[in-house]
Structure 1
Amino acid sequence: MIFVPTIIYILISKCDLRETLRLKKTHWLAIIIVPAFVVALEPLMTLINAISLLWVESATTELATGLVSNHKLWVSTLLMAVTPGIVEELAYRGVIMGSYRYGSRLAAIIIGGIMFGAMHMNFNQMAYAMVLGMMLGFLAEATGSIFTTMYAHFCFNEISVIISYIASHVSVLKQMVEKQASEGIATDQLKQTILIYIPFAFMGLCAAAAMIVLLAYLNGRHMDMLAMFRRNRNAEVKRPRIISVPLVLALCVCIGFMIITEFVL
């Protein structure tokens, strides 16, 4: 559903693959920095997830645990980490962000993040996926390469795969997960989790931002990053429109589907 439209767009538009998709090398230190960037963002993702669970149900726990428990680790890794890391990044940090950046790079990051969140088709994942999508957008701008966002996306999903794999193969943890799935998480427990994670989420976000700045310097893109936040006062420069009918319709369809599945069915 994501990969085929991406390929069709590339073929029809005849875009420059190297520029639009950012098929470029980056500094070798990204191999070390990107996983640290993902780990730094984990508390923020946990916090946003906990906040969303106050109003909606988890859309991933049961699915991830069931998939991992019924397949070998490498199969789960391929299905849940490798494939999404490649396909979703080609679509969202590649085609969508690469096309919108000609209007405004900052707007492209925001729109790419919103569409990435909406694509998950449930409010629980949408909440943290939007923020993660935007952070991956900044990572793409800092490195100038989609390979770093694919790597980060893989690391983020693989953490969930490993946690689910351990939880499904350790009897005590398996019983806890099954109990949680059947009874749900108490509101008081969620509120306690939120309070605990707020300072860690803030510190992690600051650390992730610092790593983006470091990667921008390593790749000689720090001035380009600063330019994103400066207003262009050149009135003669006409930029492409950011908001379009297809974009609004796509968001309305996604949100409408989520409302129906979450609160109606």
Structure 2
Amino acid sequence: MEVRKVNGFFIIFVIGYIGLSVVCASIMAYAQNSGIAVPDWIQYVMSEGIILLIAIIYMIVQKIDPIREIPYKRIGIVDVILSLVAGYCLIPAVLLISNLSMLFSTNYLEEGTTTLLTYPFAMQVILLAVIPPLVEELIFRGIFFGSYRKAGMTGAALMSGLLFGCFHLNINQALYAFVIGIVFAYMVEATGSLWSSVIAHFAVNTYSIGIVQILKMAGMYAQDGSVSETFENAESVAGQSTAITVVQIAMIAVIAAVFMMLAVLCIRTMAKRHGNLEKMKIQNVKLSHIKNYFTAPVIVGIVVCVMYMIMLEFSGTL
């Protein structure tokens, strides 16, 4: 019953998010055309606000008490540190998947955050690394994973990761979001708290803005959000050799594997501390069990997301 409910919510969630985003974008465009200055950061806040609004409406309709039913249990300082370390250990895997997917897709995150990177560092952290984890973890590890969990741990982790990836609505982010979404689910299971995945999500999201801040300090990144001429020349030389690209990807793959093992070690340590290690054993998910997760509404929602991603890629190449 929980699976069917949350699957029905996903299609409403996707269509509602896309529809409200289009409406908000139209309002912002109209305002700008009318001479009203609208700061770029508004769109980031509005995007997360739309997600939160839809989630609140769902919880009200379904009579879900977030304090009682969403696992916001407090975690200790050791769990906070382990969650941060696990999150940062996921970054090489994110880079690997992102680099591979950029062979056939566009990095829309990089394109979309260029202006944002001109803002003060503290504001970047709030907009990209604080607000999104708080909102998105409530949805995907709170509502979706929490609902699917009642039907089994492994299937719940896979489904919540799949929907998390699809919801990013572009191929590049969807692929690595799927992987880290699964890991975030296991972190929640390990600690019994959503705060562990929020902290790990924060760590992953701080990576890009942290690197840009370091490059700015080193004079390799201009204040207007563009790379310096020296850095552009270095990138150009490196990009001329296919062999270098292959070697780089191979090196990232090795590093990603090592750091992923460290992330797993952190999660196992948290699970042992909370007595949840046995609950986290990977189960054999049979085909008959998989069918139980894929009811018509969630299939339609996934198809809508995939079609949107394909259309986005084609529109970007025209």
Q: What is the TM-score normalised by the length of structure 2?
A: 0.74
Closer, same or farther: CA 253–168 of 1 in aligned 2, 3 Å? farther
Corresponding residue for residue 252 of structure 1: 303
Partners of 1:183 and 1:258 in 2: CA distance:
31
Distance in structure 2 (CA, Å) of the matches to 1:193 and 1:19: 47
Matched, 1:196 2:251: yes
Aligned residue number for residue 22 of structure 1 = 71
TM-aligned CA deviation for residue 44 of structure 1: 1.2
In 1, Cα distance between equivalents of 2:102 and 2:61: 41
C-alpha deviations, 1:104-143, integer Å up to 9, x for none? Answer: 2211111111111111111111111110111101111111
Asked if 1:38 is matched to 2:87, the reply is: yes
Root-mean-square deviation (CA, aligned residues, Å) is 2.7
Q: 1:168: how far off?
A: 4.6
Q: Compare CA radii of gyration and give the structure with the larger one.
A: 2
Paired with 1:209 and 1:199, the residues of 2 have a C-alpha distance of 16
User: 2: distance between equivalents of 1:215 and 1:205?
Assistant: 15
Which position in structure 1 is the counterpart of 2:147? Answer: 99
Aligned to 1:209: 264
Would you say the 8 A contact 1:27–1:219 is kept in 2? no
> What letter is aligned with 1:52?
S
- Give 1:172 shift: 2.7
User: Which residue is equivalent to 1:137?
Assistant: 185
- Unaligned residue ranges in structure 2 (runs of 5+): 1-49, 222-226
1:222 corresponds to: 277
Q: State the secondary structure of the residue aligned to 1:171.
A: coil
Superposed counterparts of 1:1-265, under 5 Å:
1-18=50-67, 20-69=69-118, 71-168=119-216, 170-173=218-221, 174-175=227-228, 188=242, 189-226=244-281, 229=283, 241-265=292-316
SS in 1 for 2:107: coil
CA offsets, 1:60-110, max 9 Å, x none?
2233332111x1111111110111010000010011111111122211111
Alpha-carbon distance in 1 for matches of 2:102, 2:181 = 20
CA–CA separation in structure 1 for the residues paired with 2:83 and 2:212: 22
SS in structure 2 of the partner of residue 172 of structure 1:
coil
CA 1:120/1:169 → structure 2, altered by over 3 Å: closer, same or farther? farther
Bigger drift between 188-197 and 32-41 goes to: 188-197
Paired residue secondary structure (2:250) = helix
Q: In structure 2, how many angstroms separate the alpha carbons of the residues matched to 1:145 and 1:46?
A: 27
Counterparts of 2:63 and 2:271, CA distance in 1: 29
Matched-pair contact (CA < 8 Å) for 1:21–1:98? yes
CA separation in 2, counterparts of 1:80 and 1:258? 22
Residue deviations 1:216-264, cap 9 Å, x none? 01111112223x52689xxxxx9x9422222111111111000001024
Hey, what's the Cα distance between the residues in 1 that align with 2:217 and 2:153?
Answer: 44
Would the alpha carbon gap of residues 185 and 80 (structure 1) be closer, same or farther in structure 2, given more than 3 Å must change? farther
Change (3 A) 1:190 1:231: closer
Residue equivalent to 1:235: none
Amino acid at match of 1:134: I
- Aligned-residue identity in percent: 28
Q: For residue 179 of structure 1, report the CA deviation from its aligned partner.
A: 6.6
Corresponding residue SS for 2:294: coil
TM-score normalised by structure 1 residue count? 0.87
Q: Which one-letter code corresponds to 1:194 in the other structure?
A: I
